Amino acid sequence: MRRREFITLIGGAAAAWPLPAKAQRAESGRRIGVLMSLAADDPEAQARLTAFAQGLQELGWSVGRNLRIDYRWGGGDSNRYRSSAAELLALAPDIVVAGGSGAMGPLQATHSVPIVFVQVGDPVGAGFVESLARPGGNATGFTSFEYGISSKWLELLKELAPRVTRAGVLRDTSIAAGAGQLGAMQSVAPALGIDLRPIAVRDAGEIERAVTAFAREPDAGLIVTAGAGVATKRALILKLAARHRLPAVYPYRYYVAGGGLISYGPDNIDQYRRAAGYVDRILKGEKPADLPVQAPTKFELAINLKTAKALGLEVPTTLLARADEVIE
């Protein structure tokens, strides 16, 4: 979907389905709790929830008529995840939607309330489900990708910036997917002639110091992995990449829309729209244990030519031909 079409869709949906940070009340009907990994004022979070809301509307659910939604926000903070999860569960929802691994973790405290998770990198490894085909408990949902996609990020970095021999890997160490993504890159880095340096993403000061120190040596680039702990600090990461003239590969297109160089990853908006279908089925009586965890069906390659020019990079025509979106 192109940027102009996307903005039009979100604008229209928001008019029909307002998304405040507080609870939306219904006189009767079912109750959904939503715990998001991002912050309430994050445009990406609101876009995801708009898609989720549209999906519910298409299936006959309407806030104020037969549905109530209570929202809470983690903002990449582990303490806030725990308190927000406790608040939602105390409201006795019929079902909870967890947006990301950080949000899903504390919700494991309940074994009775059905959970639909979205954008969880390794739900089996994290212990959220027994298997993808047979979740086996009270949770199911949608994975963000397999770890192998991380090696693709490294390949894209080398293709776009052949002189890169060192890559800083910004990762969220609080989630299982952080180690998994790094491990996949480590398996291909020697063949690409790239030395990897993991950079933990905990607070802004640590990120700035680590990236600044890493950028002092030549032929450096960045790989920004997936995870709310990283995504909530993306404005700083994008600024540092530009300041130090570091070619960087990102997991999602919204980084590129914000000025990042190149991204490859699943269509997040589509996943939240699909999640509405699982919520509908569970509210109508199906069990999460019987609904297999689903993988993404849409992936996007986005390139920002303005950023490439600022970095002195010429994007290969073969790469441009493969791109789903080129921002000029």
What's the mean pLDDT in 85-113? 90
What's the mean pLDDT in 72-82? 89
What's the mean pLDDT in 265-286? 96
Residue 25 confidence (pLDDT) above 50: no
CA distance to 101, 296, 297, per residue, from 129 (Å): 12, 17, 20
In the block, tokens 């293709």 appear at: 159
Tokens of 138: 């009270």
What's CA 161's distance to the chain center, in Å? 25
Q: Where are the CATH 3.40.50.2300 domain residues in the chain?
A: 3-145+268-297, 149-265+300-327
Q: Provide the β-strand partners of residue 170.
A: 199, 224
Q: What angle do CA 46, 228, 290 make, to 5 degrees?
A: 80
Mean pLDDT of the chain: 89
Which residue did the predictor score with more confidence, 163 or 228?
163
* 3-state secondary structure (DSSP) of residue 35: strand
Residues 6+ apart with CB under 8 A from 235: 258
Cβ atoms of 220 and 214 within 8 Å: the answer is yes
What's the CA gap between 165 and 100, in Å, rounded? 32
Residue 122 confidence (pLDDT) above 50: yes
What's the mean pLDDT in 132-161? 94
What's the CA gap between 50 and 56, in Å, rounded? 10
Residue 242 confidence (pLDDT) above 70: yes
pLDDT bucket at 9, cuts 50 / 70 / 90: very low
What's the mean pLDDT in 99-128? 88
* 3-state secondary structure (DSSP) of residue 24: strand
Residue 6 confidence (pLDDT) above 90: no
**pLDDT confidence of residue 305:** 97
Query: Which of 28-32, 37-41, 174-178, 201-205 has the highest average model confidence (pLDDT)?
Result: 37-41
pLDDT bucket at 20, cuts 50 / 70 / 90: very low
Fold exhibited by the domain 149-265+300-327: Rossmann fold (3.40.50)
The bridge status of strand 299-304 relative to strand 262-266 is antiparallel
Cβ atoms of 224 and 170 within 8 Å: the answer is yes
**pLDDT confidence of residue 282:** 98
Residue 35 confidence (pLDDT) above 60: yes
**pLDDT confidence of residue 23:** 42
What's the mean pLDDT in 153-181? 91
Cβ atoms of 44 and 79 within 8 Å: the answer is no
The bridge status of strand 30-36 relative to strand 67-73 is parallel
Residue 311 confidence (pLDDT) above 90: yes
In the chain, the DSSP E strands lie at 30-36, 67-73, 95-99, 115-120, 139-143, 166-171, 195-200, 220-224, 248-250, 262-266, 299-304, 325-327
Tokens of 303: 């390139």
Cβ atoms of 223 and 195 within 8 Å: the answer is no
Residue 1 confidence (pLDDT) above 60: no
**pLDDT confidence of residue 77:** 85
- Alpha helices in 114-203, H assignment, sequence order: 149-160, 176-192
Backbone angles phi, psi at 168, to 5 degrees: -85, 130
What's the mean pLDDT in 68-79? 91
What's the mean pLDDT in 227-250? 94
Q: Provide the β-strand partners of residue 303.
A: 262, 326
In 144-275, the DSSP E strands lie at 166-171, 195-200, 220-224, 248-250, 262-266
Q: What angle do CA 76, 77, 78 make, to 5 degrees?
A: 115
Residue 12 confidence (pLDDT) above 50: no
**pLDDT confidence of residue 14:** 38
Residue 199 confidence (pLDDT) above 80: yes
CATH number listed for the domain at residues 3-145+268-297: 3.40.50.2300
Tokens of 249: 């590969």
In 208-297, the DSSP E strands lie at 220-224, 248-250, 262-266
Tokens of 25: 């009340």
Residue 3 confidence (pLDDT) above 60: no
Q: Is 158 exposed, middle or buried (0-12, 13-18, 19+ CB in 10 A)?
A: buried
Q: Provide the β-strand partners of residue 140.
A: 116
